[in-house]
Structure 1
Amino acid sequence: MKPILATALALLLAADPAWAAERLRYVALVDGGTPAGHQLVETGEDGVTRVEFVFKDNGRGPELREEYTLAEDGTYRSYRVQGESTFGAKVDERFSRDGTRARWRSTSDSGEREIDGVALYTPLGGTPAGFSVALGALAEQGDAGLPLIPSGTLRARPLAEAVVENGAETRTVQLLAVTGIGFTPQFAWATTGERPRLFAFIFPGFLQLIEEGWEASAAALEAQQKAEEGKALVDLQRRLAQPLPGTTLVRNARVFDSERAQLGASADVLLRDGRIVAVTAAGGGGEADQVVDAAGRVLLPGLFDMHVHAGRWDGGLHLASGVTTVRDMGNDNATLQQLMQEEREGTLLSPRVVPAGFIEGESPMSARNGFVIEDLAGARAAVDWYAANGYPQVKIYNSFPRELLGDTVAYAHEKGLRVSGHVPAFMRAEEVVALGFDELQHINQLLLNFFVTPDTDTRTLERFYLVAERTAGLDLDSKPVQDFIALLAQKQVAVDPTLATFEFLHQRDGELSPIYVPVEDHVPPDVQRSRRAAEMDIPDDATAARYRESFAKLVEFVGRMYRAGVPIVAGTDEVPGFTLQRELELYVQAGMTPAQALQVATWTAAGVSGTRGDRGSIAPGKRADLVLVDGDPTRDIADIRKVALVIKGATAYSPAAIHAELGIRPFAEAATVEAAAR
């Protein structure tokens, strides 16, 4: 690819020498230094800046070409981006400003507005080069912030500086926390001076995008960024966490019996030092140091999200939604170890973390998390490391060599670890179940069982498009489907379908993601807008109808598995909190009762994750991981969004306070923890 790209650029520059007036190249690195793409930014003497951005990881990623001109105040005068998104959707977006009139159009929205003064358009499908434009325009505004089009205000706060070296050349760069887009800050390394521009964009544990020639500085910048982010996160936890020393009485709560999937009579629940001491009839709880008047609300065990890739800024959305335990299904090992340590120490706003060790095979399309192995010795060494570090399971990924799979699964079982994962390329789900998989991730990985041939490379986008195209025509009553479900049930292979995540299979441009439809009025306008962009290429109404029918059958398939006795666990692999709520709604659509869906996210999850000994139900001796909910989610699963209070061990959290911190309008009036009258 590189020689072709170089030739194309050489021809382009020869045809238009003005384009080469100013050139800046960035390289994208994953796994601590593996090249995975680039960004080329060139500004010609004609004043037009052209950007090429390509990033490929795990067999997918965006390819974008951007052009823009700037006004004197540093904001966009004109803007255009075209290309493909991560999952192949067409990107075609433009903006222009003529005097006070601003106009924009993307594949998912359009608008026109009178703008008085400085304002910056925020592209939906833009490249990281947009950081340079935003930082330059912000520098012109000072502390006042930069108004955004269509809405919001952008601000940047300097956190630290670093001196980087490139041979004999040195440079001072600054770390900025950028706020005003999304729920949490974004971090960028920028040059210093009157008009800063992007030097590096680092997503710790995953991506390092940095100016070419300075790659050797990336690791040190990442370490410093993690330290600075840590300071902000410690402060966030300090402000939002309410310690519960001594004893706490949750009075007059209707307690959900997760083992039996039924709601009990009103009760008092006594807590001491992060554990449940007693569950008694209402009025019999006695005295305590603190009291929560549940006022007849429903008390659930803390919810589990069984499929996340944990990030240090995710905890607020999880906890505010009642998620007190997450299972990490693949991460940079050092990043996850740090996150888990911070959670145990109480310095990080975070649910508890159950880790799954990621093992991938070496290939040009490998995901670069965890361990990437080439032989059985490498696979066994990975299993040994995860076993020694207390991981209860490993996750096999797409490029894992099929010839090593059986021995690796057996070795993991010998070490006491469960085995789950994707179905490796050129294999079918039935084969990995026969080799001893204890669990399968993602509904598409199961349905591919009926569509792949020995030549189908499911490391490509085929793993999504095949399922979208062909599930609509699949007879779920056919013998192959029935036999497969029976096999899963007979072997008690757990399934983590992540249904809500896969609604992107049918979402069209301009339609709000179904994850956000029920919460649209609560989240910031920029979040609403960003989630109206399609991820799949759906060219016409006939294709859209077919993809919708396919998704409906995915939901039905999950219901059939559940009724056959296949253990289902609720995971997301998407935006925290809101996605789990949508996942449970889809389980109800699949035929579960609301109480059964709640059981899946508590009792079943605790069993599959090996944590039922201390969580998953409300019983004496277990951790005081509790969720107080307005309404009755055992009758109407939508009430799961009305979280009034969350207790995680010896700490209470107000979802309303967390949501206010994230720019989200609360869903329920907060229940308070009051000092007991003496």
Structure 2
Amino acid sequence: MKPDSANQTISFRGRSGPSWSPDGKWMAYVLDGKLWTLPVAPDGKQTGPAIQRTKGLADNMTWTADSKTMVYLAIDTLKQMDLTTGRVSTIPLTFTYQPKLPTEPTIIHAGKLFDGKTNKYRENVDIILVGSRIQAIEPHKAGRKGKLVDASKLTVMPGLWEMHTHQTILSGEKQGRIWLSHGITSIRETGSDPYDALERRESWDAGIRPGPRSFFTGTLNEGYRLYYGLATSIRSEEQLRMELDRARKLDYDLLKCYVRLPDRLQQLAADLAHQIGIPVTSHELYPAVKYNIDGVEHSSATSRRGYSMKLTSTNHIYADVLSLIAKSGMNMTPTTSLQGGFSFQTRRDTSLLSYPPYIHFYNETYRTNLMAQQQTMRRIMPGAVENFKTLAGNVKKFIDAGGRMTPGTDSPLIPYGLSLQVELQNWVEGGVTPFETLRGATLWSAEAAGVGNDLGSIEVGKVADLIAVDGDPLTKIRDSMNVRYTIKNGNVWTLGELLK
């Protein structure tokens, strides 16, 4: 394919080809981020040397019927190449959108208000919204002008964050409603097809489809060989710099380095990402701490070293790991529910699997298969469940040591939405207080995403991403599941509207 490409994967399996020309004479593909064509025989065997067609990033290529022209995406520009002359032209595109904003003031009459910052409620207050922001929080007064949301018998709190998920276009329109119906108003997507993720974010923000606020990165920045399809093989500094250019132009919210990315490139990735103002996260503790990477995903997960650097086989945290994460200021998303917590909690409390949004969005076949998968996990990995309380207790240890913890699940390995609610219960099971848990799922998550000045707590001047739940979540964390209203950017949905 090229002189030094033996045993190398194409850049990204989802959109890098190979794409066979209609006349059967050419194979197009992306290697090292650049577009190549290879002359082939009708049986696909190579008949000549590969030809490099671009100097910059290219993907999503397609052929015209006569096999003389290719159309491809060059980051944020659609281009057309005449293969006979090599001439490249730009296909003009003009896409714009505007965030959906309420057209009148909204008055939320809150029986109780948890602001995300203090371990107590304010009672019987009005939260006054103008546009997307909180204009005032005042003692309740009847007759205020505007749209009234009667939460007088409910608890109003900041919307929840899911800090580690991966989505797919195949989920369709219901994806956004799943999140909102579970009280989740912001998600952090730690690996995606960036074009799918960008479309979701813009459609949700514009109100074309209901959905949460989306903070995303593109594909996982991986080394020479890929384990997951949602990754790009990075082999050089040049290619890494091109990927950071994509991150800038597509307005990524974070960058994720994966486990096989060479250490020297991981350091460069951190430096380049910080230059464009976005945080970096990784599975690895080392060399991430050394290179000023901002976050670490999972308390134990995929590692090129073949073993966990963070936990023992019985889920005990290593003392140096505890110290490094707490003192470095790195944010950690432990995904406790993924590593036995979901199985533990749903076995002990089977009513979780009858939760109305879960029943509504997931059909019987899915629910039956999920139960079978959980039973299989308990059989082949009994330690994941039996040692779960030790794992959950590690979250408490991190917080007590001064570490920053935020909840995430790695859904869809476990169900979108429900898994985040179970994650919160897992934390409390491990000794974290409901207040500390909800602070992690609101204010600390917003701060980790770099938007703590606008989101994560209910304060005058901040953006109105709120939920109203039935119960007392500062006493009983499970009450955070009792969502009755979800408000994102000042726009209000009832649970019934989301479960349509």
Report the TM-score when normalising by structure 2.
0.73
In structure 2, give the amino acid aligned to 1:471. Answer: S
In structure 2, give the amino acid aligned to 1:443. Answer: S
In structure 1, give the amino acid aligned to 2:420. Answer: L
Counterpart CA distance in 2 for 1:409 and 1:627 is: 35
Provide the secondary structure at the position in 2 that maps to 1:434.
coil
Aligned in 2, Cα 1:321/1:338: closer, same or farther, shift over 3 Å?
same
Aligned in 2, Cα 1:517/1:377: closer, same or farther, shift over 3 Å?
farther
Whether 2:354 is the aligned partner of 1:520: answer yes
**Match in the other structure for 1:363:** 224
Choose the corresponding residue for 1:404, options 253, 257, 265: 265
Q: What does the per-residue CA deviation read over 1:283-312, in whole Å, with 9 as the maximum and x for residues that have no partner?
A: 2x7512211221231001111111122345
1:277-676 aligned within 5 A = 277-283=135-141, 287-311=144-168, 312-313=172-173, 314-369=175-230, 371-423=232-284, 429-445=285-301, 457-458=305-306, 471-472=313-314, 476=317, 481-503=318-340, 517-520=351-354, 522=356, 523=359, 524-534=363-373, 544-574=381-411, 575-659=415-499, 661=500
In structure 1, give the amino acid aligned to 2:157. Answer: L
Please report how far the alpha carbon of residue 550 of structure 1 lies from its aligned counterpart in structure 2 after TM superposition: 3.3
* Native 8 Å contact 2:221 2:233 kept in 1: yes
Aligned in 2, Cα 1:516/1:609: closer, same or farther, shift over 3 Å?
farther
Please report how far the alpha carbon of residue 527 of structure 1 lies from its aligned counterpart in structure 2 after TM superposition: 3.5
In structure 2, give the amino acid aligned to 1:353. Answer: S
Provide the secondary structure at the position in 1 that maps to 2:144.
coil
Counterpart CA distance in 2 for 1:437 and 1:244 is: 38
Counterpart CA distance in 2 for 1:490 and 1:502 is: 25
* Native 8 Å contact 1:376 1:408 kept in 2: no
* Native 8 Å contact 2:341 2:388 kept in 1: no
* Native 8 Å contact 1:315 1:351 kept in 2: yes
Aligned in 2, Cα 1:608/1:261: closer, same or farther, shift over 3 Å?
farther
Counterpart CA distance in 2 for 1:555 and 1:581 is: 15
Counterpart CA distance in 2 for 1:552 and 1:442 is: 16
* Native 8 Å contact 1:300 1:626 kept in 2: yes
1:45-194 aligned within 5 A = none
**Match in the other structure for 2:124:** 266
Counterpart CA distance in 2 for 1:609 and 1:539 is: 34
Provide the secondary structure at the position in 2 that maps to 1:547.
helix
Provide the secondary structure at the position in 2 that maps to 1:559.
helix
Provide the secondary structure at the position in 2 that maps to 1:604.
helix
Aligned in 2, Cα 1:645/1:337: closer, same or farther, shift over 3 Å?
same
Q: What does the per-residue CA deviation read over 1:359-382, in whole Å, with 9 as the maximum and x for residues that have no partner?
A: 422434343436431111211221
**Match in the other structure for 1:667:** none
Provide the secondary structure at the position in 1 that maps to 2:335.
coil
**Match in the other structure for 1:30:** 13
Q: What does the per-residue CA deviation read over 1:90-123, in whole Å, with 9 as the maximum and x for residues that have no partner?
A: xxxxxxxxxxxxxxxxxxxxxxxxxxxxxxxxxx
* Native 8 Å contact 1:358 1:397 kept in 2: no
Please report how far the alpha carbon of residue 255 of structure 1 lies from its aligned counterpart in structure 2 after TM superposition: 0.9
Counterpart CA distance in 1 for 2:181 and 2:16 is: 36
Aligned in 2, Cα 1:375/1:588: closer, same or farther, shift over 3 Å?
same
In structure 2, give the amino acid aligned to 1:248. Answer: T
**Match in the other structure for 1:70:** none
Please report how far the alpha carbon of residue 623 of structure 1 lies from its aligned counterpart in structure 2 after TM superposition: 1.5
Counterpart CA distance in 2 for 1:390 and 1:654 is: 31
Please report how far the alpha carbon of residue 552 of structure 1 lies from its aligned counterpart in structure 2 after TM superposition: 2.6
Counterpart CA distance in 2 for 1:576 and 1:546 is: 24
Counterpart CA distance in 1 for 2:341 and 2:406 is: 20
Counterpart CA distance in 2 for 1:513 and 1:258 is: 30
Provide the secondary structure at the position in 2 that maps to 1:431.
coil
* Native 8 Å contact 1:626 1:647 kept in 2: yes
Report the TM-score when normalising by structure 1.
0.55
**Match in the other structure for 2:81:** none
Q: What does the per-residue CA deviation read over 1:549-571, in whole Å, with 9 as the maximum and x for residues that have no partner?
A: 33332212122111111101111
> Pairwise CA RMSD of aligned residues?
3.5
Counterpart CA distance in 2 for 1:307 and 1:514 is: 24
* Native 8 Å contact 1:409 1:436 kept in 2: yes
Please report how far the alpha carbon of residue 395 of structure 1 lies from its aligned counterpart in structure 2 after TM superposition: 0.7
Q: Give % identity.
A: 23
Aligned in 2, Cα 1:567/1:291: closer, same or farther, shift over 3 Å?
same
Please report how far the alpha carbon of residue 580 of structure 1 lies from its aligned counterpart in structure 2 after TM superposition: 1.0
Aligned in 2, Cα 1:571/1:515: closer, same or farther, shift over 3 Å?
farther
In structure 1, give the amino acid aligned to 2:463. Answer: R
Counterpart CA distance in 1 for 2:339 and 2:381 is: 14
In structure 1, give the amino acid aligned to 2:222. Answer: G
Provide the secondary structure at the position in 2 that maps to 1:532.
helix
Provide the secondary structure at the position in 1 that maps to 2:209.
coil
Counterpart CA distance in 1 for 2:177 and 2:155 is: 22
In structure 2, give the amino acid aligned to 1:385. Answer: R
* Native 8 Å contact 1:624 1:647 kept in 2: yes
Provide the secondary structure at the position in 1 that maps to 2:441.
helix
Counterpart CA distance in 2 for 1:521 and 1:293 is: 23
1:241-256 aligned within 5 A = 244-256=102-114
Aligned in 2, Cα 1:516/1:648: closer, same or farther, shift over 3 Å?
farther
Counterpart CA distance in 2 for 1:304 and 1:268 is: 24
* Native 8 Å contact 1:316 1:658 kept in 2: yes
